[in-house]
Homo-oligomer: A and B are copies of this chain.
C-alpha cells in the first residue's frame, strides 16, 4: 500500500498548504489540518507527528515545484535579470496566496526555539553541556539553510549583473552590494506587502526602479 500511502501524504501536504497560507504557521493546530483534510485525528499522526514536520514538507514540495523554469528560457544575462524580477514581482503581488507569512512565522519560531535552548544551556550545568554536545547539533544537515539559499540568490544576481555589464547594457560600481540591495528590497517588498499592504503600482514602481537603475543612460 506504499502507493496509496504516498498519495494520501501528498493530499495532506496540499491541504495543509492551504491551511498554512490562510492561518500562518504558529497558530495552525493539528486539528485545523485534520479538519481541512477531512481525515481522522489518528490518521494524520500516522503521517506527520506535528505541524512543524508537516510545514517543512509543504516547503520542500513548494521548492521542488517552483524551480528552474526561468533559467532555460533566457539567452542573455539582461533577459535573465528581467525574468528574475518579473518572477519576484509576481511573488510579491501574490502574497495573499503565498507561503510568505507562514514562512516568516516559522523562522520566528525557530529563532525562539534556539533562544530558549540557549537559555536553558546557560542555566544547565556546564558539565551536562559538554555531554550533550555530540547529540543534537547534528540534527538537520540535510538541506540548504535559508541563509545559504539567500546567499546563493545574491551570487546568481551578482553574476547576472556582471554578465549584463559585459554585454554592455548595465553599469554598476559594486555588483555584490547591488545584488544584495535588490534582494533586501525584494524582502522588504514582500514583508511590506503582507503587513502594511502595497498596491500593484507601488510594487511595479519599485521593481522598475531597481531594474532601470542599472542601465547605462544615454
- Residue numbers of A with Cβ under 8 A of B are 22-24, 26-27, 101, 104-105, 107-109, 111-112, 115, 125, 127-128, 131-132, 135, 145-147, 150, 173-174, 177-178, 180-181, 183-189, 191-192, 194-197, 202, 205-206, 209-210, 213
Contacts and interface: CB of A to CB of B under 8 A. Distances in A.
Contacts of A26: 24, 26-27, 105
A190 B145 CA distance: 18
Nearest to A191: B191
A195 B108 contact: yes
A109 B194 CA distance: 11
Top-5 shortest CB links A-B? A184-B188, A187-B188, A107-B195, A188-B188, A177-B209
Copies of this protein chain in the complex: 4
Contacts of A184: 184-185, 188-189, 192, 206
28 contacts: A22-B112, A23-B112, A24-B108, A24-B109, A24-B112, A26-B105, A105-B105, A107-B195, A107-B196, A108-B195, A128-B132, A146-B195, A146-B196, A150-B192, A150-B196, A177-B206, A178-B209, A180-B206, A180-B209, A181-B206, A181-B210, A183-B188, A184-B185, A185-B188, A186-B188, A187-B187, A187-B191, A191-B191
A184 to B, nearest CB: 3
Contact of A131 (B131, B145, B213): B131
Given A104-B104, A131-B128, A184-B184, A27 B112 contact: yes
Nearest to A150: B196
A215 B160 CA distance: 25
